[in-house]
Every structure is written in structure tokens, then in C-alpha cells.
Structure 1
Amino acid sequence: MNQLTIGSYEEFQKYEGADLGVSPYHTITQEQITKFAEATLDYQWIHLDAERARTDSPFGKTIAHGYLTVSLLPYLWDQIVIIQNLKMQVNYEIENLRFNQAVVVNSQVRLRAKLLSLKNLRGIAKAQIEVTLEIKDSPKPAYSGIITFLYHFNK
């Protein structure tokens, strides 16, 4: 895996407008889907009932919650870029997120990221990142959108 390592605003700024990379694949298991359902109290059958999904779902299998796939953003992002020398990182915003394709159980997904912009807000780096969650062997991504992280670098 070829992660970028960034230790300051100035280093981060060099990547503005650039493709930052792609994470390794992560397999979405039924156990992960079930735990997410328990954590969020979202017990729809399409996520949990494999037998019913086999007969009643257009996908033929259970599918991951859309928000489960979104919740993987920080984890997958950290597989692409290591941001060092931080006081704190804050998940700030998601824009134009569009779910394009369901993620069926046991699919492998990975994140592709591009740094759209980096702004200095009184010492806080505001990074807007174009993200696409790709599904292995699928022409359509699970979703695409723009996420914003705020980075409070140590001086």
C-alpha cells in the first residue's frame, strides 16, 4: 500500500487538485451489517434477512446500509493518507452525496480520493475531498460526493 504522509498545511497544499490515491479493498460482511443495524436501530429485512432477500430483493442477497458504507469514509481515507502532527481532526461536511449502487453482502469496496481544495481558516485546514466508493467488479460506484475534514495542525 502506498499511503501519502502529510505533516503540515504546507505539505497538504501541494496536493490541491491532485488524485490522492485509492484505499485497499474492504469486505462488507453480514456480521458488520448486523452490528451496524444494532448500533443504529435500523433493522430493515433487506439488511438482515438473507432468506427473504434471496426471494424478495432485486439484489438476491442482503445489502449494506447506505450509511454503513458512508461511515467507512474515515477508515478508508486513513488507508490513503496519513495526516500527522495534528491536535484534532473533525468530520465537517458531506456535499452532493449520491448513492448509485447497492453494496451486497460480501462485496469488496475501496475509496478513491481527490483533494479538490484546501483552505486556511484562521489556522485550521479545511480540506474538501472528492470521494468515490468503488465496488470490485462493478462498473457503477456505491456512491460519490464531497467530504470536508477540518485539520487542526500543531504549530
Structure 2
Amino acid sequence: MAQTVFDGIDEVRAAVGRHLGHSEWTTVTQEQVQTFADATGDQQWIHVDVERATAESPFGGPIAHGYLTLALTNLFLPQVVDVQGISLGVNRGTGKIRFPAPVPVGSRLRAGVELVAVDDVAGGIDTTMVITVEREGSDKPVCVVESLSRYLA
């Protein structure tokens, strides 16, 4: 993995339309799924009941929560992009989020990042990056999200 490093917001502006790279692979564990379930209260059996999910679910075993997969973008994005020479960078939210395919526990995931838009704001820029989370061995992404950030000079 080679991190894309920008020195200031002018370099970010110049990169619109570029694919910025991929994160490292990470494995989704049942422990992570259970911790997420405990933190959010989403104890649906397809996530936390290994025996039942293996016997009854159409996925053949437990799967990660979609929002756990989304949360992993906070792990992946800084592995791909580093904006230096700024006073502050903050998450502004998300645009469209999709979960095209499930994430079976034990899957290895990574994310690709594309910078699709930069808009000028007072003192800095707003960016839109499309983060595509992929599962090793699958042609279909497991999460695609428009990540919105603000960088102040």
C-alpha cells in the first residue's frame, strides 16, 4: 500500500478524478461483530448467533453488520490519504451508502478511494471521496460510500 500524501489543499484540488490507492487488507472477526453488536444494540442472530446463522441463514454463517463495514472506512481512509499542511480536517458525513454484498465473518476487506469532487468553502475545501470496500475473492463490492470531508488551510 502506498499512501497518497497531499501537501496542502491546492494539491488536493489538483487530484480530482484520481484513484488515490488501496488500503491494507483486514480480517473481520466474530469478536469485532459481537463488540459492534454490543455497542449498537443490534443483536440480530445473523450477526451474533454463529450456530443458528450457520444452520439457517442464506449466507452459510454469521455476517458483519453493514454499519460495521461502513465504520471500517475510518480505518481504511487514513491508510490511503494523508492531507498535510492544513490546520484541520473533519468528517462532514456521507452521501449515498450502499451495501451490495454481505461480509461473512472471516472475510478479508480493503478499500479503494477515489477523489470525485472538491468545492471551495471559506478558509478551505470540502471533498467528496468515493470509498469502495471490497472482499477478497469477490467481484462485487461490499460497501460503497460517498465520504464528505472539510479541510481548512
TM, length-normalised to structure 1: 0.93
Provide the rounded CA distance (Å) in 2 between the counterparts of 1:63 and 1:87: 39
Question: What's the RMSD between the two structures over aligned residues?
Answer: 1.2
The residue that corresponds to 1:14 in the other structure is 14
Check conservation: 2:28, 2:107, Cα contact below 8 A. Answer: yes
Per-residue deviation, 1:25:
0.8
Task: Report what 1:121 is aligned to.
Answer: 121
Q: Is the 8 A contact 2:9 2:86 kept in 1?
A: no
Name the SS for the 2:87 alignment partner.
strand
Question: For this pair of structures, how many residues does the alignment match?
Answer: 153
Aligned to 2:66: 66
Verify the 8 A CA contact 2:115 2:130 in the aligned structure 1.
yes
CA apart distance, 1:7: 2.5
In structure 1, the residue matched to 2:135 is 135
SS of the residue corresponding to residue 142 of structure 1 reads strand
Task: Provide, for residues 37-81 of structure 1, a one-character-per-residue CA deviation record: whole Å limited to 9, x for no partner.
Answer: 111111111111110001110111111110001111121000101
Q: How far apart, in 2, do the equivalents of 1:48 and 1:117 lie?
A: 38
- Equivalent in the alignment of 1:145: 145
In structure 2, runs of 5+ residues without a counterpart are none
Q: Secondary structure at the match of 2:115?
A: strand
For normalisation by structure 2, the TM-score amounts to: 0.94
Structure 1 residue 92 displacement after superposition: 1.2
Q: 1 CA distance for matches of 2:33 and 2:73?
A: 16
Letter in 1 for 2:118: L
